[in-house]
Chains A and B, each alone.
Chain A
C-alpha cells in the first residue's frame, strides 16, 4: 500500500527581484516512488526540490508532508535526507564524524550514533574509510559519504540534487547502479534532480519533465520498466525509446498537451 509522501498544490516561487523561478505546480509523490525532476538549467528543478525539502517556502500555494501540516516547523526536517550537488563534508572532521552529524545534531547518544553511522558507511561501501578525512577520498567516495550521511537518520524521503553531476561518466554510472540497488532494497522514496536524460531513465519510476523561462512542469512520464535494471537495460531499445521521447519533450515542450 502506498501513502502520499509529499504533495505540492499550487506551489510557486517568486524571488524578491520579481523573477518567477517556478510557476504554480501540483505534484504528488507516493511512497516507494523514484521520481526524477528532469530539465535544463533554469527550469526550476532545484527550486522545486528545495520546496519539497522545506528549505524554501513557496510564495503562493502550499506543501504538505505525509498528509500533515508542517507549516509551524517550516518543513519536514529530520524525516528528509538531502544530498547536495557537492559532497559538502566538513573538512576538519573524519568521515565517521561527518556521517554521524545529523544524529549528533539530534542529540542521539554517541555510541548509538557511531554504530548507525558505521552501518550507513557499510551500506555505501565505505566501511574501511571511517577514520579518513574527506580530502583523502576521491570525488566519488566523498559523494558516497554524503549519501551515507543522508541515510544515517533512516529518512522516509531521500532528496538528491544532481548528486553525481560533477563526477566522471564511469563513476556516475556505477553510483547510479548502486543507488538503484539501495532504493530497491531499502524501499526508499526518492526525489532526484538531474539534467541527464540517460540517468533519469535508468533510475526512475517516474520522470517530471521541466522547462525554463518560466520554470514549469511540462510532462509527467512513467517509466514502467521492471527492476532491477542492469547494464543491458542501458542499451535496450525501450531505453532508447524513452530517451528519444524525453529529448523531444525537452526540445519542444509546447507540442504535447502541457500538464494542467
Chain B
C-alpha cells in the first residue's frame, strides 16, 4: 500500500520532541549565561516552577477559558450548520445573506467586543458570543461549499429516481459535506480559543471568572513575567489539544461512516 516507507510512529514524535529539548536547553543556557532577569525573560525552568506553584490559580483560569472556547465552538457549529443548510435551500437566500457572513468575518473582533460586552449584561455570555462570532465563519463557508459539492451525476441519478428534496439532502448532500464540515471545524476550534482570549482581554474580567487572558494581563502589569509565560504556555497547549480533538473526531466520524452499511441514517 505504501510506495515509500513512512517515518515510524516513534520518529514522528521523537523528531519534534528533540527540537523542543534543544530549543529549551538553548533558552535555559542563554538565560543563565547572560544572567537575564526573570522579569525580562524567565528561564524555562522558572516557568515550569511557576506552573507548579501557581497551579490552583492557573487551572481555574484555564477551565474558564476552555469553557468559553468550547461553548463558543459548539454554538458556532450548531448555528453555522443551520445557516449553511439554509443557504443551500436557495441561491436567493445565499446571495442575500452571505455578504453579511463575510462582513462578520472581516470585522476585527476587538472592534465589536466592547459593544457586545456593553449590550450583554452577563459577561460570560458576552465572551461566548464574541468567540462564536470569530469561530462561525469557517463552519458556514466550508459546510455550504460541501453541501453544494455533491457529485453532479449523483444529483441527476437522484432526480431520475424522483428523490424528494429531503432525500437528496439526507442521503447525498449531508454525507458528502462531512469532510468539508470537519475541515471547517478544525479551523474553528483554533479561532474559538483566539476569540475567547481576545474577548477576555477586552472585557478584562477579574475575580471569580478570570480566564487565562486576564492572568496574562494582570501578570504583565505586575511584572510577574514567569506567570505570564506559564499562562501563555497553557493557552498554546489548550489550542493544540482542541485541534487534536477535532482531528480525532473527524477521523472517528469519517471512518465509522465508511464502515457503516447504510448510505444515510434511517
A88 contacts B261, C-beta separation under 8 Å? no
User: Given A92-B263, A93-B263, A94-B261, A105–B153 Cβ distance below 8 Å?
Assistant: no
A86 contacts B153, C-beta separation under 8 Å? yes
A205 within 8 A of B: no
B159 contacts A92, C-beta separation under 8 Å? no
Docked Cα-Cα span, A93 to B258, in Å, equals 6
Nearest Cβ in chain A — how far from B116, in angstroms?
39
- Interface 9-mer from B69-77, B125-133, B161-169: B161-169
Docked Cα-Cα span, A184 to B151, in Å, equals 32
Docked Cα-Cα span, A82 to B159, in Å, equals 11
Residue-by-residue, is A101-128 near B (CB-CB < 8 Å gives 1, otherwise 0)? 1101110001000000000000000000
Docked Cα-Cα span, A55 to B155, in Å, equals 11
A133 contacts B160, C-beta separation under 8 Å? no
Nearest Cβ in chain A — how far from B262, in angstroms?
6
Q: Which residues of A contact B162 (CB under 8 A)?
A: 73, 77-78, 105-106
Residue-by-residue, is B133-167 near A (CB-CB < 8 Å gives 1, otherwise 0)? 00000000000000000010110111111110001
A53 within 8 A of B: yes
> From residue 228 to 266 of chain B, which have CB atoms closer than 8 A to chain A?
257-258, 260-263, 266
A97 within 8 A of B: yes
Q: Which residues of A contact B194 (CB under 8 A)?
A: none
A82 contacts B263, C-beta separation under 8 Å? no
B175 within 8 A of A: yes
A84 within 8 A of B: yes
User: Given A78-B161, A80-B160, A105-B161, A92–B261 Cβ distance below 8 Å?
Assistant: no
Q: Which residues of B contact A133 (CB under 8 A)?
A: 258
Nearest Cβ in chain A — how far from B154, in angstroms?
5
A96 within 8 A of B: yes
Q: Which residues of A contact B263 (CB under 8 A)?
A: 90, 92-93, 97-98, 101, 104
Nearest Cβ in chain A — how far from B41, in angstroms?
51
Count B-side interface residues using an 8 Å CB cutoff.
24
Interface of B is mostly: helix
B161 contacts A96, C-beta separation under 8 Å? no
B156 contacts A97, C-beta separation under 8 Å? no
B172 within 8 A of A: yes
Q: Which residues of A contact B176 (CB under 8 A)?
A: 90, 92
Q: Which residues of A contact B172 (CB under 8 A)?
A: 90
Q: Which residues of A contact B261 (CB under 8 A)?
A: 93-94, 96-97, 131
Residue-by-residue, is A65-101 near B (CB-CB < 8 Å gives 1, otherwise 0)? 0000000010101101010111010101110111001
A89 to chain B: closest residue by CB: B154
Q: Which residues of B contact A84 (CB under 8 A)?
A: 153, 156-157
Nearest Cβ in chain A — how far from B255, in angstroms?
10
A92 contacts B160, C-beta separation under 8 Å? no
Q: Which residues of B contact A77 (CB under 8 A)?
A: 160-162
Q: How extensive is the interface on chain A, given as a class?
A: 20 to 34
Chain A residues in contact with chain B, CB under 8 A?
A: 53-55, 73, 75, 77-78, 80, 82, 84-86, 88, 90, 92-94, 96-98, 101-102, 104-106, 110, 131, 133
Chain B residues in contact with chain A, CB under 8 A?
A: 151, 153-154, 156-163, 167, 171-172, 175-176, 178, 257-258, 260-263, 266
B258 contacts A82, C-beta separation under 8 Å? no
Nearest Cβ in chain A — how far from B164, in angstroms?
8
A90 contacts B161, C-beta separation under 8 Å? no
A105 contacts B154, C-beta separation under 8 Å? no
Docked Cα-Cα span, A92 to B172, in Å, equals 10
Q: Which residues of B contact A73 (CB under 8 A)?
A: 162
User: Can you pick out 16 interface pairs between chain A and chain B where the beta carbons lie within 8 Å of each other?
Assistant: A54-B160, A78-B160, A78-B162, A82-B157, A88-B154, A90-B171, A92-B257, A92-B263, A94-B261, A97-B262, A98-B263, A104-B263, A105-B161, A105-B163, A105-B167, A105-B171
Q: Which residues of A contact B178 (CB under 8 A)?
A: 92
Among B153, B157, B161, B258, contact of A92 (Cβ-Cβ < 8 Å): B258
Q: A84-B153, A105-B158, A106-B161 are in contact. List 18 more A-B contacts (CB 8 A).
A: A54-B160, A55-B159, A55-B160, A77-B161, A78-B161, A78-B162, A88-B153, A90-B175, A90-B176, A92-B176, A93-B263, A94-B261, A96-B261, A97-B262, A98-B263, A101-B161, A104-B171, A105-B163
B178 to chain A: closest residue by CB: A92
Q: Which residues of A contact B158 (CB under 8 A)?
A: 105
B162 to chain A: closest residue by CB: A77
Nearest Cβ in chain A — how far from B179, in angstroms?
9
Docked Cα-Cα span, A131 to B154, in Å, equals 20
Q: Which residues of B contact A86 (CB under 8 A)?
A: 153
